Amino acid sequence: MLSTRPIAVKGWLNITNINDGVLKLVGWLISPVDRPLTSFEIKISGQKINSFDLEKNLPSPKLQEAFPHIPEAKNARFRITIPLNTLPTPDLKDTLVEIVPKLGAENGQSMLAIVNPSLPLPSQEDMSTIGGAFLPVGLEFLSYLIQHADLKPTDHVLDVGCGVGRLAYVLAYYLNSTARYEGFDIIDNLIQWTQANITPQFPNFQFQKVNIHNKWYNPAGDVEAKDFIFPYPDESFDVIFLTSVFTHVRGYEISHYFDEIKRVLKPGGRCLFTCFLVNEESQELIKAGKSTQNLVYDLGDCITNNPDKPENATGFLEPVVASLIGDRGFSLLSKHYGSWCGRKDFTTYQDMLVILKPNFFQKAIRKINYLWNNFQNK
């Protein structure tokens, strides 16, 4: 079973220094007013750390300036000090740090950082191709995968539209050597970088270029997305993720991708994807001029901001996405609305959904619940 859905928080974590026999972590966290921060659960290289000092509710004037409408921003900084002799790897090379805020008896969204990573970063040009913020966004989505999609260090994962390895980079410090990572993308130079820099150090991470046609990103591609068969056997993966893929394709292409996701996902497997969901709230915000995406051109199978090149940005009516999921037997585990359209209450920039391909037991439970609800409604 998936863990209880964490409470959304706004936060940031940084490694400040490693000296005098201690590791120091600093950051800030804004939680709902009725869920104040009490402590953190800390894991380093997957091992829980019990010995640490926490200073919380420290003054944060710069944060208060950035979020003047949030009173809690005034005292949102924290500082964590951990003795190095309590850590599983005292030299902390290639070490993933995960902290989960404890908000009373409940967990908040985790924050992650990597200490002394040996992998190089891509060039600024390559990072800009995928939108920049390489490490912050990679760590953010690793957090979502762990807490919302129940990602385990032993899972086999598929990264659809892996780009220059933003998620692969951080997953290299989370997945163990028995896990398997596969990623594919349509931009050749990005795949070449991942093959040259990630695979040699982590041979269980494999990348390949696929020549899918896309008017915006790969106009010379010779395979249509609606005809593309994922190059993997049936039921190969525990977790599949697609970040900012469904924001650049048409509706009939999404339909085919869901078929392929269902085919290569194991029973009980999860898929996390992002998209632009068009609903009453987002439509009103678009009309009010508050959205970063002017999704107003309805092409029948999608809504776009550019009718000449729809793949620049595409959105989909929320009931249509719900039907695509339900028609293939997926269960919706969670839905998280994004800030793209100007809403104030959000999780990340794009809308994010996590779906489940039920196994036999989960199908049986769903059938029992369906019959029971029908019985109660009679």
Spatial CA neighbour of 271 closest among 324, 312, 319 = 324
Q: How far is it, in rounded angstroms, from Cα 275 to Cα 262?
A: 18
Q: How far is it, in rounded angstroms, from Cα 197 to Cα 339?
A: 33
What domains can be seen in the chain, in order of their start residue? 10-115 (2.60.40.10), 124-365 (3.40.50.150)
pLDDT tens for the chain, 378 residues long, are: 344 568 878 889 988 778 888 899 999 999 887 888 999 999 998 899 999 999 999 999 999 998 888 888 999 999 999 998 888 776 788 999 999 999 988 999 999 999 989 999 999 999 998 888 899 999 999 999 999 999 999 999 999 999 999 999 999 999 999 999 999 999 999 999 999 999 999 999 999 999 998 877 888 899 999 999 999 999 999 999 999 999 999 999 999 999 999 999 999 999 999 999 999 999 999 999 999 999 999 999 999 999 998 988 999 999 999 999 999 999 999 999 999 999 988 999 999 999 999 986 676 666 676 566 665 666
Q: Are 146 and 171 in contact (CB under 8 A)?
A: no
Q: pTM of the predicted model, to two decimals? A: 0.91
Strand order across the beta sheet in which 10-19 lies: 10-19, 22-30, 77-83, 53-58
The rounded radius of gyration (Å) of the Cα atoms in the chain is: 21
- 337 Cβ partners below 8 Å, 6+ apart? 277, 281, 343, 345, 346, 347, 351
E strand segments, 265-307: 265-275, 277-278, 297-298, 303-304
Structure tokens given for 363: 């199908």
